[in-house]
Amino acid sequence: MIAERLQNVKRILVLNRNQIGDCLLTTPLLRALKRGYPGAHLAVAIPEPRRDLLATNPHVDEIVIRPRRDRWVDKFQFAIDIRRRDYDLIISLQEKSLFYAWATYYAALARSRCVTVALDHPRTRRYYQQNVPIQPDRHEVYKYLDIARLIHCPAEQSPVLELQPTKDARAWVRQFVSDRGVDPDTRFIAINPGATMEEKRWPVERFAEVAERLHQELGLPVMILGGEEDRERAAGIVNGMTHRPLVTAGMASLAHTAALLERCELLVTGDTGPMHMAVAMAVPVVALFGPTNPLKFGPFSRNKVVLRHDEPCETCALPCTHTITAEECLGAAMKLYNPPPGRRAGVERR
C-alpha cells in the first residue's frame, strides 16, 4: 500500500538537520528526491540561522522555518501548520526527537495518503511508517541516501554537496575586500580556526605558522574565517604572522562565508561547519580531526587530506588535534594545492 501511495507524490516535506555541516550533508538527498519526484513541491524545514545554506539550492522549492527548541508555543503551531499543508511524503532527519515524531504522526492522521519516513531510532520508530536502518561507520551522506533508496529515488553514482552563493553575498564580498585595500579579484588561502570542543581546537600558534608558511610558499594572501566566537583565535593568528591576513571572523553571515570561500584556493580547517561549506564549493580542504570519526563526518570530497592521530595529548582524554604538527599540516596543504594555469607555487601569474 505504501508503494502505491509513493507513486503519486505531489508535496514533500523534509525535516532537516540543525547544524551547518549536517544540513549540507543532506543536499545529495534533496537532489535525489527531486530526481525521483521532478514534479513534486519540495519543502525543507530548517532553523532560521541555516536558511542561507539552502536559499539558492535548485532542488528546494520552499524553506519552512523550524521553531526554536525552547519555544513550545511555536512548536505546536508548527505541528498544526504542517498538518494543514497536506503533504504526501514527510521525511524526518530528526529521528531522535519525540516532538517531530509526534508532529509527523499528527500530520499523517489528517491525510490517509501521507507516507512518513525517518532514520531508525528506538525512541521514535513507532511513530513512522517506514524506518531506515543506520549502518555504522558509513559517511552521513550515504545514511541520508539510504532514505532515497527506500522510496525509489535514484541517487547519482558520485553524489556531491551543493552550495551556491547569492548575488548579494558576492557583491558584499567584493565591497568587503575592496574596502580593505585588496584587489576584489584576489584569490586566497583560507584558515578556519574555530571548533566547539577543546579537543577539536588546533593551537593558534600552529595555525599562524602554517598560514605564514603557505603565504610565503604559494604567494597568496591569507583569509581567516569564523564566527563571532572565533574573533579571539583569529586575533591570535594575526599576532603570530608577519603577513597581514584578511580577517572575516565575526563579520560574515553564512551567505557571505560561501561567497568568501568561492575566492579561496585552499582551506585549512578544524572539524567545523565551514569545512563542509568549502567541500560544497569545491575548495580543496586540509581537515584537522580530533575525537570525531572522519569516516562518518569528514569532508565528503576526493580533494582533501584528513589529519588525525588516535592518541590524545597529555591533557586530553579523547583523541585530539593537539598531536598534529604544523609540519604535517603544511606538507598536506602543499601536496593538495593545485595552482591555476599561469601560476606555480610561490610565483604569481605575470
164-222 pLDDT, tens digit per residue, is 999 999 999 999 999 999 999 999 999 999 988 899 999 999 999 999 999 999 999 99
Q: How far is it, in rounded angstroms, from Cα 53 to Cα 32?
A: 18
Q: What is the 3-state secondary structure (H, E, C) of 23-34?
A: HHCCHHHHHHHH
- Which residues, 6+ apart, have CB-to-CB distance to 239 below 8 Å? 208
Q: What cell numbers appear for 101 in the block? A: 515524531
Q: What is the tally of structural domains in the chain? A: 2
| Same-domain check for residues 93 and 139 | yes
- Report residue 72's pLDDT band, with 50, 70 and 90 as the boundaries: confident
Q: Which of 150, 178, 213 is the last residue of a domain?
A: 150
> What is the C-alpha separation between 277 and 21, in angstroms, rounded?
7
* pLDDT exceeds 80 at position 130: yes
Cell numbers found for residue 92: 524526518
The answer as to whether 63 is a domain residue is yes
Nearest by Cα to 112 from 213, 4, 244, 214: 4
Amino acid residing at 164: Q
Angle at 173 between CA 170 and CA 177, to 5 degrees: 145
For the cut 70, the answer to whether the pLDDT of residue 341 exceeds it is: no
Segment 84-93 shows an average pLDDT of 95
**Nearest-5° Cα angle at 301, 200 to 344:** 95
- Single-letter residue type at 66: R
Rounded Cα distance between 9 and 87, Å, is: 8
Share of residues in the chain with pLDDT > 90 (%):
85
Q: Which domain holds residue 78?
A: 2-150
CATH of the domain at 207: 3.40.50.2000
Average of pLDDT values for 126-140? 93
Task: Out of 74-78, 100-104, 160-164, 208-212, pick the least confident.
Answer: 74-78
Q: Are residues 240 and 182 in the same domain?
A: yes
- Mean pLDDT for the chain overall: 93
**42, β-bridge pairs:** 12
Which pLDDT tens digit goes with each residue over 8-44?
899 999 999 999 999 999 999 999 999 999 999 999 9
Rounded to an integer, what distance in angstroms lies between the CA atom of residue 311 and that of residue 5? 51
Domain match, 182 and 303 both = yes
pTM of the model: 0.93
In a domain, 344, yes or no: no
Cell 583569509: give the residue. 223
One domain for residues 179 and 132: no
**pLDDT on residue 340:** 60
